């Protein structure tokens, strides 16, 4: 009798626990979307951002068929902007960051129209990230020196050291002309500006004879430092 009761109880337990549950699943093969046309660009021409002063920057998310996007901009892991626009504007504040190497990291999460279920619902999300090194130099410039002044066929060829740091703005070349080698007060003056850091020489075609003095100055981090005067007497 006990065995029968157990058997009946087993039947009852089975009866209570076995309702129909659909378990089949469809799987349709859909090609995953191509996002190789999507890119993040910055309004800086170079891969490295060199700064000596605070700069407004613009990051653009480019690509076809992008529906919505959120862009996160971080410098050294600190968030500085979250934007839902395809074009994100932000400020790199050099005074906050200070002189040294930093890292700009930009990630965009975006949805794109695709042929998948999530794509049809506008819920398929993709991510693209890029990093740019930032080199900031806001320290005062170090002076460059005139290495040599040589007479070449009646013209004076000046050569100076190249300024090596990233905060370069301009070279200023000052020329002072004197009436005689003994004279201490100059009679004429000429100033030239070179905005290319790689220019390290100047051919003075206006030199005739006598005493001239050259001073090369560097403007960097919005400050100017000058070399020692270089005196040339023919």
Partner 1 sequence: MFSQNFSVSIGSGIATYSMKSLKNFDQSIVATDFMGLKPSLTDNFPPYVYYHGEASYTNNKTIYGISITHGSTGSRTTYGDYSGKIFRDNLVRYNAIGLRLGQVFVSKKNFIISANARASGIFNRLRVKERLDIAGSSIENSTRYHSLNFGLMPFFSGEYIFNKIFISFDIGYEYQITGRVFVNNEDKLYIVDQNNNEIYIDGRGVRAIVNLGYRFNKK
Q: Which residues bind partner 1 (CB under 8 A)?
A: 4, 7-8, 11-12, 14-15, 18-30, 32, 114-121, 123-125
Question: Residue 75, Cα to own-chain centre: how many angstroms?
Answer: 11
Task: Identify which of residues 21 and 45 has a Cβ nearer to partner 1 in the complex.
Answer: 21
Tokens of residue 176, six digits: 């002072």
Q: What is the spatial distance between Cα 216 and Cα 205, in angstroms, rounded to a whole number?
A: 17
Q: Which segments of 154-225 does DSSP mark as H helices, in order?
A: none
Shortest Å distance, C-beta 126 to partner 1:
11
* Spatial separation of the C-alpha atoms in residues 222 and 99, rounded to whole Å: 14
Report the nearest approach of partner 1 to the CB of residue 106 (Å): 23
We find the least distance from the C-beta atom of residue 30 to partner 1, in angstroms, to be: 4
Q: CB-wise, 119 or 141, nearer to partner 1?
A: 119
Q: How far is CA 187 from the centre of its chain?
A: 46
Q: Which of residues 110 and 168 has its CB atom nearest to partner 1 in the complex?
A: 110
CB nearer to partner 1: give 122 or 181. 122
Residue 116 CB, nearest approach to partner 1 (Å): 4
Closer residue to partner 1, CB minimum distance, 26 or 34: 26
Strand partners, 106: 73, 130
Is the Cβ of residue 4 or residue 45 nearer to partner 1 in the bound state? 4
List % helix, strand, coil for the chain (3-state, nearest 5): 10, 50, 40
Least separation in angstroms between CB 5 and partner 1: 10
Query: What does the alpha-carbon distance between residue 48 and residue 40 come to, in Å, rounded to a whole number?
Result: 15
Q: What are phi and psi of 113, to 5 degrees?
A: -70, 120
CB of 11 to partner 1, least distance (A): 5
State residue 138 phi and psi, 5-degree precision. Answer: -115, 10
Q: Which of 234, 188, 185, 187 is nearest to 211 (CA)?
A: 234
């Amino acid at each position: 009798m006990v065995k029968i009761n157990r058997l009946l109880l087993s039947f009852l337990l089975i009866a209570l626990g076995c309702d129909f549950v659909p378990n089949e699943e469809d799987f349709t093969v859909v090609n995953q979307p191509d996002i190789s046309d999507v890119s993040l660009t910055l309004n800086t021409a170079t891969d490295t951002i060199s700064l000596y002063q605070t700069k407004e920057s613009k990051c653009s998310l480019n690509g076809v068929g992008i529906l919505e996007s959120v862009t996160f901009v971080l410098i050294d892991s600190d968030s500085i902007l979250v934007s839902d626009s395809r074009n994100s504007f932000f400020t790199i504040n050099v005074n906050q960051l200070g002189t040294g190497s930093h890292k700009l990291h930009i990630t965009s999460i975006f949805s794109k129209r695709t042929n998948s279920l999530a794509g049809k619902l506008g819920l398929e999300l993709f991510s693209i990230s890029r990093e740019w090194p930032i080199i900031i130099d806001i320290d005062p410039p170090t002076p460059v020196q005139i290495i040599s002044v040589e007479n070449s066929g009646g013209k004076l060829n000046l050569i100076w050291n190249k300024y090596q740091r990233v905060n370069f703005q301009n070279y200023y070349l000052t020329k002072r002309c004197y009436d005689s080698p003994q004279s201490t007060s100059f009679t004429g003056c000429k100033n030239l500006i070179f905005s290319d850091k790689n220019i390290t020489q100047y051919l003075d075609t206006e030199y005739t004879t006598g005493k001239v003095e050259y001073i090369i100055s560097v403007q960097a981090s919005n400050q100017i430092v000058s070399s020692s005067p270089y005196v040339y007497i023919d």
